[in-house]
Amino acid sequence: MKYALMTTLEPGDTLDHYRLDATVARSGMSTLYKATDLRDGKSVAIKVPHEEMEADPVLVERFKREQEIGLELDHPGVVKTYEDGPGSRLYMAMEWVEGRLLRAILNEERKLPIDRAVNLTLQICDALDTMHKHGVVHRDLKPENVMVDDTDRIKLIDFGIAKKEDARRLTIVEVTKTLGTPDYISPEQVKGQRGDQRSDIYSLGAMLYEMLAGDPPYTGSNPLAVMNERLLHDPEPVRKRRREVSPEIEEILKRALAREPRNRYQTASEMAWELEHPEMVGVEDTARPTVVGGLKLPAARKLAIYAGLVLAPILIFVLMVLLAKK
């Protein structure tokens, strides 16, 4: 179906059976309104793409895919999308969620109580687990896309660059607009790869780190510097910024933020299990790592290494003496 291009909508305008009450947010691709469904008086959120987006078939496809993903997912931690039938223009109707963005909470409080940060993370893990089982990867997890209500229940919002595993890859033009957010994007996404559910786990690890430390794991003078840092260095241990964080939580963060996807949690449920059972998390002794060939080795292997370094010259000397006698 083709949609006629329309001028920008303003609060007070009517869009089919919705009255637009207020502009909530504007992004580079769309505007979000709070609206009233005139059929039953219920508050809803209406997401309307900008005119230039409606003129781009690739971006229209992206918007429709977001709508399909929202209709498919049914989880209390994911914002609901309503089936509404063809309208007078391209838009999406979703449930209206009361609360505050996690970003607003972090801006106000910086560091959250540890129990609260873990609780919010567990809820996000639960929502991600359902998404991933449906073959959906969010790809842009960040505090701006998590709504928190008065009882600390979360909802994931904005699936604008989410992907389905069975969906065809979009063009490079579209990809350049959907790289994710520098503070939370995974290393593989920085390298231009599509990313999978482990990319979401990396982003969630970065969010948990920020909830505990008060800042994201990597900072820099510009987005490129931030992204480059995560390709080259491990983040500063969170316990250096906040001593009351347990070694077990530190280890969970280390696993979630591993640069190589194969070294991370493979599923959100794995990460949730360890957050719920920290006593079962093995903690490596990384206080004074031994560095051999660029690899950090745990203390249990130090003695063998030192012994080898001492014994090797002795063994070589003995062998030379024996050969000389022959």
Q: Within this chain, do residues 250 and 111 fall inside the same structural domain, yes or no?
A: yes
Answer yes or no: are the C-beta atoms of 216 and 184 closer than 8 Å. Answer: yes
Pick from 309, 113, 151: nearest CA to 301:
309
**Domain enclosing residue 51, as ranges:** 14-95
Q: How many domains does the chain have?
A: 3
Closest CA to 64 of 173, 174, 143: 174
Does some domain include residue 126? yes
Q: Are residues 177 and 231 in the same domain?
A: yes
The answer to whether residues 166 and 305 belong to one domain is no
CATH code where residue 44 lies: 3.30.200.20
**Rounded Cα distance, 145 and 143, in Å:** 5
**In a domain? residue 178:** yes
How does pLDDT run across 123-166, given as a tens digit for each residue? 999 999 999 999 999 988 999 999 999 999 999 988 777 766 65
CB 54 within 8 A of CB 37: no
> Based on the domain organization, do 146 and 186 belong to the same domain?
yes
Last residue of a domain, one of 71, 95, 119: 95
Interval 48-106: pLDDT, tens: 998 888 778 888 888 888 888 888 888 999 999 998 878 888 999 999 999 999 999 99
Tokens of 186: 């995974």
User: What percent of the chain clears pLDDT 70, i.e. is strictly above it?
Assistant: 79
Q: How far apart are CA 313 and CA 308, in angstroms?
A: 9
Q: How many CB atoms lie within 10 A of CB 178?
A: 17
| Contacts of residue 306, Cβ cutoff 8 Å, sequence gap at least 6 | none
140 is catalytic: yes
Q: What whole-number distance in Å separates Cα of residue 202 and Cα of residue 209?
A: 11
- The reply to whether 132 and 149 lie within a common domain is yes
Catalytic choice (140, 158, 183, 200): 140
Residues 206, 121 within the same domain: yes
150/259 same-domain check = yes
One domain, residues 245 and 124: yes
pLDDT at 202: 97
